Chain A
Amino acid sequence: MIQVPGWVRDVFECYLTCEFTTVANGKPVTFPLLYFYEADSGKFSVTSSILFSKKVEHMKKNPKVSMLFSNPEGSGIEKHAILVQGIALCDDSDLDHGWERFLPYWRKKEPYIDSFLAEREKFGWFWKRIVIRVEPKKIMAWKNGITDGAPEVFG
């Protein structure tokens, strides 16, 4: 587990979304995603509906990914920029229930998620979800989000 200072951990724990990049044929493909941070292991998780699973296809071919934490909106903390580069492991062995263990994390970030979950039948395929866990290999952090200087590097 890569050790990081408190202000970096605060970002991981408080930011709502990240910008998640996969590699497709040598091209970066980046989308904003809701993520979950597991403080005990230092790993990150995202879940993806099969509807939006191109990124999972990319990761199965090339597990090198990055997660940028740059948008403090809704977090209650200051703006910083943290880049995590890591290896993604995709688990689609239980599309219907495998992701449910992340619901407590999800509710903290999107308290209204239960109203969508109540309509699970209506949005059936949205709730068929792949779990992606990311093990960080290198973390680069720009305090105050100012990227015209060198980052602090961890790992």
Chain B
Amino acid sequence: MMPGIDFQRLAAFRYAIINFIGQDGYPWSLPTEFEVTPQNEVLLKKPASPVQVTGKRVGVLFNHITAIPTGGYTDRRYMLIWGSLNEQDGKLKLHPEAISEWDEKILPFPELCARAVPQGQRYLKSLQRQPEG
């Protein structure tokens, strides 16, 4: 089992989204139900996909926002788990390989921005390298 996944927090999301690349090169995203078993297995309800999802590299996104009555939203959090899927008892079992996540209650947005400064620098440098056309 891959370390670094907080399965208790994961189980609190309402649904999952299976993301993969189709044969024509376009990404696909299919929302579906999921459960976390007592053994920390992530099992997804099999969507009726026109495209085969097993045997592919997938990213499964778990996403949450809470609406603010006066407009907008808060309580942003997501987990994106990359891995593969195989069929198990009519469901899809996720085999996690890597994770990217953010929960604004754990890492407030200003701190997230501060951590992202190297990416901003990298992007600005890439623009300086572009030849004038």
Contact = CB atoms under 8 A, between A and B. Distances in A.
Interface of A: 16-17, 19, 21-23, 26-32, 49-54, 56-57, 62, 64-66, 68, 70-71, 73-74, 81, 83, 85, 92, 108-113, 123, 125-126, 128, 137-138, 145, 147-151
A128 B15 CA distance: 33
Interface of B: 15, 17, 19-21, 25-32, 45-50, 57-59, 61, 63, 65-68, 70-73, 76, 78, 80, 82, 110, 113, 116-117, 119-120, 123-124, 126-127
Contacts of B20: 28
A29 B81 CA distance: 10
Contacts of A110: 71-73
A70 B31 contact: yes
Contacts of B47: 147-148
B30 A147 contact: yes
B63 A51 contact: no
Given A27-B21, A126-B113, 11 more contacts: A17-B73, A21-B29, A28-B59, A30-B61, A32-B61, A32-B78, A51-B113, A53-B120, A64-B26, A66-B19, A74-B72
B119 A50 contact: yes
A57 B125 CA distance: 13
Contacts of B58: 28
A66 B26 contact: yes
A150 B29 contact: no
A32 B21 contact: no
B106 to A, nearest CB: 16
Nearest to B45: A148
B27 A65 contact: yes
Nearest to B75: A73
Contacts of A17: 65, 73
A32 B26 contact: no
Given A68-B31, A81-B31, A109-B72, A28 B19 contact: yes
Given A112-B72, A125-B117, A149 B27 contact: no
Contact of A51 (B31, B50, B120): B120
B42 to A, nearest CB: 16
B48 A125 contact: no
B73 A53 contact: no
A128 B100 CA distance: 24
A49 B114 CA distance: 12
B26 A19 contact: no
A50 B121 CA distance: 8
Contact of B28 (A22, A66, A74): A66
